[in-house]
Amino acid sequence: MLRGLYTAASGMVAQQRRHDTITNNIANLNTPGFKGSNAVNRSFPDMLISVMGGANPKEGSIGKLSTGVFAEENLMQLTQGDLQQTYRNQDLALVSDMLVDGVNFDESGKSIDANGQVTYKPQAFFSVLSTNGAEEYTRDGSFKTAADGTLLTADGLSVVGANGQPIVVNVSWDQVSVSGDGRLLDKSTGQPLAGNPQLRIMRVDNPYLLVRQGDGLFRYAGDPAGIRQIAAGDRVDVRQGYLERSNVDAAQSSVDLMAALRAYEANQKVIQTYDRSLEKAVNEIGRV
């Protein structure tokens, strides 16, 4: 009987974590470039009750028994967010539709071949310098300019140029035009600005190897060969005067939030039922 209590309790914890993930998504509905997350629930490792039929639990006399559910991880949703026009020259948005030869991706940006090999759709990110000087990545292009002309993120981090150094613009941004590949040009002449500045836009082959750092920043934790600066033909476009909105679906998040609440209540009632049964066993049957 106690196994049922543990199973229901683990279900409550899993739904609580799912609830936390959804509320975080909703809280960032208006955060530029925010990528929502999905809570992934999986069963605990199977408990082997009998191995009389061999090493495979399915061949045993009883089989396998799961001991509940576990909120194992949160997976990002890396779909493109809608663009919102701001008419502000320092607001930049990335539109990427990168392809991999011979691979067709589904709507979530994933492809599974006949052998079960998973391929993820590459994504593009702006490169910035974190407070400790490490290179990190973001989709939030709501930039601003420091007094010395350094291009900064909304949180004051330096935006990195193609040369690996912070971008410095010594003219008014009213005179700056940003090309589709991230080059900063003089709006009146169409010529590059002094120093030929260009945004450092990175292609990440497997964006699920990015680790959230908070404030819309990501750290890459994969093989260095899996990340590089974009090249010609990568199908990445920079849009000036736009911001990428959060890709969170408000309506679906509301439905998921209610589903998590109902599942939590169901597990709670299971625990209450077990509690009443144990009470009867102790107070009534125990007297006999």
Domain interval for residue 271? 2-77+248-287
Identify whether residues 256 and 152 lie together within a single domain: no
Identify whether residues 187 and 153 lie together within a single domain: yes
What is residue 1's predicted lDDT score, i.e. its pLDDT? 54
Identify whether residues 238 and 279 lie together within a single domain: no
Identify whether residues 100 and 220 lie together within a single domain: yes
Identify whether residues 17 and 114 lie together within a single domain: no
What is residue 102's predicted lDDT score, i.e. its pLDDT? 87
Judge if pTM exceeds 0.95.
no
Identify whether residues 90 and 200 lie together within a single domain: yes
Identify whether residues 238 and 99 lie together within a single domain: yes
Q: What is the DSSP string of 78-147?
A: -PPPPEEE---TTBEEEEE----TT----TTSEEE-TT--EEE--EEEEEEE-TTS-EEEES--B-EE-T
Q: Which of 229, 244, 259 is the last residue of a domain?
A: 244
Identify whether residues 10 and 148 lie together within a single domain: no
**CA–CA dist 170, 150 (Å, integer):** 8
β 217-220/210-214 pair status = antiparallel
> How many domains are there within the chain?
2
β 184-186/176-178 pair status = antiparallel
Cα dihedral sign, 11-17-20-25: negative
What is residue 234's predicted lDDT score, i.e. its pLDDT? 93
Per-residue pLDDT of the chain (288 residues; tens, 9 = 90+): 577 788 888 889 889 999 999 999 999 999 999 999 988 776 655 444 444 444 554 544 444 556 677 666 778 888 899 999 999 999 999 999 998 988 999 888 889 988 888 999 999 999 999 989 899 999 999 999 999 999 999 999 999 999 999 999 999 999 999 999 999 999 999 999 999 999 999 999 999 999 999 889 999 999 999 999 999 889 999 999 999 999 999 999 999 999 999 999 999 999 998 888 888 877 777 565
Identify whether residues 154 and 201 lie together within a single domain: yes
Identify whether residues 169 and 255 lie together within a single domain: no
Identify whether residues 118 and 215 lie together within a single domain: yes
What is residue 280's predicted lDDT score, i.e. its pLDDT? 82
Identify whether residues 67 and 134 lie together within a single domain: no
